[in-house]
Amino acid sequence: MNVLFIVADDLRPALGCYGDSLVKSPNIDQLASRSVVFQNAYAQQAVCAPSRVSFLTGRRPDTTRLYDFHSYWRVHAGNYSTLPQYFKENGYTTMSVGKVFHPGISSNHSDDYPYSWSMPPFHPSAEKYENSKTCKGKDGELHANLVCPVDVAEVPLGTLPDIQSTEEARRLLNIMKTKNRKFFLAVGYHKPHIPLRYPKEFLKLYPLENITLAPDPRVPEELPAVAYNPWTDIRQREDVQALNVSFPYGPIPEDFQLQIRQSYFAAVSYLDTQVGLLLNALDDVGLSNNTIVMFTADHGWSLGEHGEWAKYSNFDVATRVPLMFYVPGKTSSFARPGERVFPYLDPFTHVSDSVAAGKAKKMVELVSLFSTLAELAGLWVPPVCPEPSFHVALCTQGPSIVQHFNSNEEEDDYDTDYDHDYDIEEDHEEPIAFSQYPRPADTPQWDSDKPKLKDIKIMGYSMRTVDYRYTVWVGFNPSNFSANLQDVHAGELYMVGSDPNEDHNIYNSSLHGNLVKKFLRFLRR
């Protein structure tokens, strides 16, 4: 089997296949209908570079020692093999298009080439204009805005980065078909990462009168100050600057909140068309029957929930991601001769079918992608990492999730009816998704969202199960990468059965001794 590895940037599960009735995503929904879809998949840190290095190496951030953007794991932590490197070493032609690794120091200014890739990675030439003044404002002038629908014909080069990435990926698929090579092709799309810059016609899919505010747009009273992310990146955009919003809590005026949400959804539909064109190309070259397709995102993005925007937190809206695997002959039957598996669907004309909102409810993590794809491709699955594993080049901290492809949803449900205290009975088999986020101080600072390693003073470790999210903010020493588990600055406990939006923190009003034990056991293993 070949592998087509598709990763979006800042995409929460705002998709039809995840039960979102507003968002038009017919091509990703079509992929989902032929895939196993994980309803509860989580990133290990809700920011680009740490998340991508984590899932591409199969190691957690405490092992990559990357919590910011400013170090290369092979030098800073250990010379860990990567997922594409492993496929390359097993005879695959490995190729990177767009944003797969985060560019810059964290991937050695080379996207980890030549370790991970058989040829130099492709970056779209239009990428350099992403943060330029290309957004036409109400004054008729060009600005560097957050909300940025554009006329593609008028922007520099007359194209956008994701359009170029799709074109390059289609070109590479044709070459692989012609040369009859087995391949691992990673395609990283930029959207819906800010700026929300997309072809303006996608706004027509989302009339403003159909857009609502987040269900919980205010900062919860019980939210510890250390847990709040003050969305400093969007504050730097010209249209947000013009609002003169107070720091750190805002809020953003409601009419502009609606515009941000509208443009995020429009950017998702634009992304969907690019995924559709890419998958259609897989049909064109006749490779849909022998290519595994994985689709996910590096993390989510808050759209006003808890009075927060962007990522940079441990909440579900920031850590939960879409995750699906199409495996020919396993998740759907092989296509017959001449049959198209992924016909392109136009979001402007396609009437969406009702798609089951996910098939596997098991809690899973992106750190499991390495071992999962190795198993699906029939390769030897790397062993579980020992502790510590800084000296081990090839191992993973995320077990394969192939065993859950056929799991029964009912089997994954746990009792959520707690009418006593929250001293939950220990269950060694309870599936846990683990995330973390660093902070420079107990209260929101200008660098709270993206603190540099030397400035990290607190680490928020978060466990998510089917029943609850439990987060503890503890002291952290960046000089030796150690967390002081006795130095607890704050805690959060949300019972998601009755509080799905994680608005009511009951950490200080409940007993949770066994949660502490489970938390410590997980951290120390």
Catalytic residues: 48, 102
Angle, vertex CA 466, rays to CA 464 and CA 469, nearest 5: 30
State the Cα–Cα distance between residues 1 and 293, nearest whole angstrom.
10
State the Cα–Cα distance between residues 8 and 28, nearest whole angstrom.
11
Q: How far is CA 192 from CA 161, 207, 524, in A?
A: 12, 18, 36
Angle, vertex CA 405, rays to CA 352 and CA 90, nearest 5: 110
State the Cα–Cα distance between residues 173 and 179, nearest whole angstrom.
10
Assess contact for 182 and 291: CB atoms under 8 A.
no
Dihedral-angle region of residue 506 (phi above 0 means left; psi in -120 to 50 means alpha; beta otherwise)? alpha
Q: Examine residue 248 and say whether the peptide bond preceding it is cis (omega within 30 degrees of 0).
A: yes
CB count within 10 Å of CB 170 equals 18
Q: What are phi and psi of 342, to 5 degrees?
A: -130, 65
Element (H, E) at 271: helix 254-284
Q: For the chain, give the longest Cα–Cα distance.
A: 65
State the Cα–Cα distance between residues 466 and 462, nearest whole angstrom.
13
Assess contact for 458 and 439: CB atoms under 8 A.
yes
DSSP for 337-382, written as a single string: TT--SS----TTT--PPP--S-SEEEEEEGGGHHHHHHHHTTPPPP
Sign of CA dihedral 103, 105, 108, 112: negative
State the Cα–Cα distance between residues 242 and 58, nearest whole angstrom.
42
Q: What are phi and psi of 176, to 5 degrees?
A: -60, -40
State the Cα–Cα distance between residues 319 and 313, nearest whole angstrom.
8
Both structure tokens of 127: 């990428």
- 3-class SS of residue 128: helix
Please name the amino acid found at residue 298.
Answer: D
State the Cα–Cα distance between residues 282 and 4, nearest whole angstrom.
9
Query: Where are any strands of DSSP class E within 61-193?
Result: 93-98, 135-136, 142-143, 147-150, 183-188
